[in-house]
Structure 1
Amino acid sequence: MFRPLHAVLASMDRLTDRGESASIPTPPTRTVIRAMVAATAVVVAVGLLTGNPVFLLGLLVFLPAFAAALCTPRQTALVSAWVSAVVLVPVVLQPGGERIDDAVLALLVVAFDAMAVYGSRVRITREEELVRLRSSAAAMQRQILRPLPVLTDDVLVDGVYEPVQQDELVGGDIYEVAATPWGTRVLIGDVQGKGLAAIGAAIAVVGAFREAAHREATLTALVDALEAAVVRHNDYSRPRGEPERFVSALVVGVDKGAEAQIVVCGHPPPYVLHGEAVTTVTAVATQQEHVPLGLESLVDEPRMVTWFGFPVGSTLLLCTDGLTEARAPGGGFYPLEARLGGCTDITASRLTRSLVADMRDFTAGTQQDDVAVLAVRRSPHQPLELHSDGVLPADALR
């Protein structure tokens, strides 16, 4: 018995796609077959209507070129074989045809088909290499960042980090949390540029923070250490011809007092959510905002600490410009502060994940930049113990 058409196409999917990289998006083989049959039918129909079907069949020579740009090498070879058969058989069987013309046409068809298959293989090879580079860079970037959530005696920090992984590989969003003798210190930042060079600067800043957060008693001294790390990284990178990098950053210090301190280095402002109120820290820190890390030598004013109210039960939202500068298809920016108005009484985890999901809806699924969002939830001043299985108590995530 004959198998149904869909079963035949499914079998061909498995046969022709076997061994191809699953990481490269390509159309299913059944779709390719349907498209080439439909294109052939259109060309044949037009040829019969115009009275010159053999001449118009030559238009099918361009099909393998389209396949080379979109399909796997095996799919391209399938399209090429189909075009060769459809074009050459009528030409060869046509009575009274010129043999030299037929031979030239046959050579051109075979040459175009071979070039299409070769081009498809080169494209797939390059795309696979790019995917491997993207995956390695993203894995490297995730390796240097601490898994979330993080619980200290002062705060619970939870959040979302999503690298964009476009042609520039990955971006340079960073974050870190350190429980120190002077309270909990939180870093969030964004390295200028993308790619492996940006990850190098990110490693320098995160490494400097992890060391200096436990060494420096003041937040300004900690930020000075981060500034020095960026400058040193640029000094080492300059002989290799790499551009100098700067890093926009926020460093927050939270202890057992009712206020927290912050140093702003050219970064989007944080928001404090308490009760039904949403307050931007920019209203307090406008005069204290400073240039990004790596650019301090360009200004005369030193970096200053700003204090702001951060009572028990409140949440501090930190993010990079991947969230604040996300654009809708019409060009409008994501209205972060307006969206926060409806998210004042949810857990830190739900807050960050709902914001990222809402941003995706706002931008119609288009992610233009890395997105890092942290929610710092002020904890009661009492130790929180893990269950015997290592899981946080449910009320700790409030």
Structure 2
Amino acid sequence: MAAKKPQRSQTLLVRLPAVVMAVVAAGDLLTGPGVGFLPLASLGPAFAGLAGGWRRTAWYGLAALLLCVGLGLYDGLFQERRGFMAMVSVVGVTGASVVAAVMRGRREAELANVRSIAEVAQRVLLRPVPLSAGPLQAAVSYTSAVAEARIGGDLYEVVSSPHGVRMIVGDVQGKGLAAVETAAVVLGAFREAAHDEPDLVGLGERLERSVSRVLEGEKFVTAVLAEVGERHEAVFLNYGHPPPMVVREDGTAHFPKPPAYAPPLGLGMQSSGGPKPFSVGFAPGEQLLLYTDGVSEARDANGDFYPLGERADLLKQADAQDALDALREDLVRHTAGPPHDDAAMLLLRYHRHAAGESAGEP
């Protein structure tokens, strides 16, 4: 329904110039020259400039001028100044509308160029996650708070390393190009360190040093790091980020929290100690959802937060991406539109054991 309203508005703007000029002509013919409908013919090109290009606006201007001449001759207005003033009005409004249409066209072309650059930046920065990494299936969803935007300050990545499958989901404080630049630093450091560092703590320390070098003042990045190795467990480091959601095989949802939250990345150098890793059981048939606060803090019209734990049943679909898309659509319905903040979600599914493999086998 929301998509149909802009389309109807656009159709109305396209038809409005012709409708206005028809109404002006009918009004002039019915009431005669005494009412002074003739100068209103300039509304045709004026409205045409709102929705069309300069050529369309010029054609409507020509049509309005011909209409003005025809009605002026019919009404006998060229025997006095009113007929000529009406023509001047049409010509002046048409010229201004043509100039406005040209400028609007240039701005739209610039905006299209910026959007294409943003799409390329998104493909470079937020690369598609692998559909399968070690024992995991992965799916990702990213929703920008701004309808025209293609990229923002949320970030995610999945890396299959010699030390296990490692994931990150984070949220950069702030918006705009500065947030994108910081996200690029975090992802670049994570992609490199995920292969080199033998444990998750070392990986987190590398990220902290990288972020501290580029951030100024009190800016920061909240993030959660996760690792799934050979054992049936997931290990986490939480840097002031919303807790992950683990969905058990029976559909129940749990939100494991660290013994103590660590400061966000960029603020850790000011604290006395780093985050402590903690682990939770993560077995075949279970799911892990990492997300940003654009999901957990999304509000409806009444100000109620999105009940993520109550929506875990939406992740039952066989295909991981379809399940995550269903959750995203439910989030959009909850907020009655795009979220007020960027919302990123990363879904990991643990493969079931192959036939004949024991469920308790490590």
Q: TM-score, normalised by structure 2?
A: 0.82
The structure 2 residue matched to 1:144, chosen from 125, 130, 139, is 125
Pair 1:232 & 2:232 matched:
no
The structure 1 residue matched to 2:253, chosen from 261, 279, 283, is 279
Alignment correspondent of 2:114: 133
Contact 1:288 1:306 in 2 (8 A): no
Q: Using the aligned pairs only, state the percent identity.
A: 35
User: Deviation at 1:252?
Assistant: 0.5
CA-based RMSD = 3.2
User: Deviation at 1:264?
Assistant: 1.6
Alignment correspondent of 1:179: 160
- Deviation string 1:308-354 (CA, Å, 9 cap, x unpaired) is 22122211011223333444456544332211135346442232122
Equivalences for 1:70-85 in 2 at 5 Å? Answer: 70-85=51-66
**SS across alignment from 1:209:** helix
Pair 1:258 & 2:232 matched:
yes
**Partner Cα separation in structure 1 for residue 251 and residue 13 of structure 2:** 56
Distance 1:91 1:266, change over 3 A: farther
**SS across alignment from 1:293:** coil
> Is 82-91 or 176-185 further displaced after alignment?
82-91
Alignment correspondent of 1:198: 179
Pair 1:317 & 2:289 matched:
yes
Pair 1:120 & 2:101 matched:
yes
User: Deviation at 1:122?
Assistant: 0.7
Contact 2:172 2:182 in 1 (8 A): yes
The structure 2 residue matched to 1:350, chosen from 313, 316, 322, is 322
Pair 1:246 & 2:227 matched:
no
Distance 1:65 1:35, change over 3 A: closer
Q: TM-score, normalised by structure 1?
A: 0.75
Equivalences for 1:25-36 in 2 at 5 Å? Answer: 34-36=15-17
> Is 372-381 or 307-316 further displaced after alignment?
372-381
The structure 2 residue matched to 1:337, chosen from 309, 312, 321, is 309
Q: 2:266 is aligned with what amino acid?
A: G
User: Deviation at 1:73?
Assistant: 2.4
**Partner Cα separation in structure 1 for residue 282 and residue 14 of structure 2:** 63
Alignment correspondent of 2:200: 219
Distance 1:321 1:121, change over 3 A: farther
Contact 2:182 2:211 in 1 (8 A): yes
User: Deviation at 1:60?
Assistant: 3.6
Alignment correspondent of 1:306: 278
The structure 2 residue matched to 1:379, chosen from 348, 351, 359, is 351
The structure 2 residue matched to 1:268, chosen from 239, 242, 246, is 242
Q: 1:340 is aligned with what amino acid?
A: A
Pair 1:209 & 2:183 matched:
no
**SS across alignment from 1:213:** helix
Distance 1:92 1:170, change over 3 A: farther
Pair 1:188 & 2:138 matched:
no
Distance 1:265 1:68, change over 3 A: farther
- Deviation string 1:174-204 (CA, Å, 9 cap, x unpaired) is 2111222321110111223333332221211
Distance 1:75 1:26, change over 3 A: farther
User: Deviation at 1:110?
Assistant: 0.9
User: Deviation at 1:169?
Assistant: 5.9
> Is 223-232 or 87-96 further displaced after alignment?
87-96
**Partner Cα separation in structure 2 for residue 98 and residue 264 of structure 1:** 84
The structure 2 residue matched to 1:109, chosen from 83, 90, 105, is 90
User: Deviation at 1:299?
Assistant: 4.4
Unaligned runs of 5+ in 1: 1-24, 236-242, 383-398
Alignment correspondent of 1:55: 36
> Is 271-280 or 36-45 further displaced after alignment?
36-45
> Is 153-162 or 131-140 further displaced after alignment?
153-162
**Partner Cα separation in structure 2 for residue 378 and residue 105 of structure 1:** 75
- Deviation string 1:208-245 (CA, Å, 9 cap, x unpaired) is 0011112222322212221222222236xxxxxxx975
> Is 43-52 or 153-162 further displaced after alignment?
43-52
User: Deviation at 1:34?
Assistant: 3.8
User: Deviation at 1:123?
Assistant: 0.9
**SS across alignment from 1:343:** helix
**Partner Cα separation in structure 2 for residue 294 and residue 149 of structure 1:** 28
Distance 1:185 1:306, change over 3 A: same
User: Deviation at 1:52?
Assistant: 4.9
Pair 1:43 & 2:24 matched:
yes
User: Deviation at 1:167?
Assistant: 5.3
> Is 198-207 or 72-81 further displaced after alignment?
72-81
Contact 1:219 1:253 in 2 (8 A): yes
**SS across alignment from 2:196:** coil
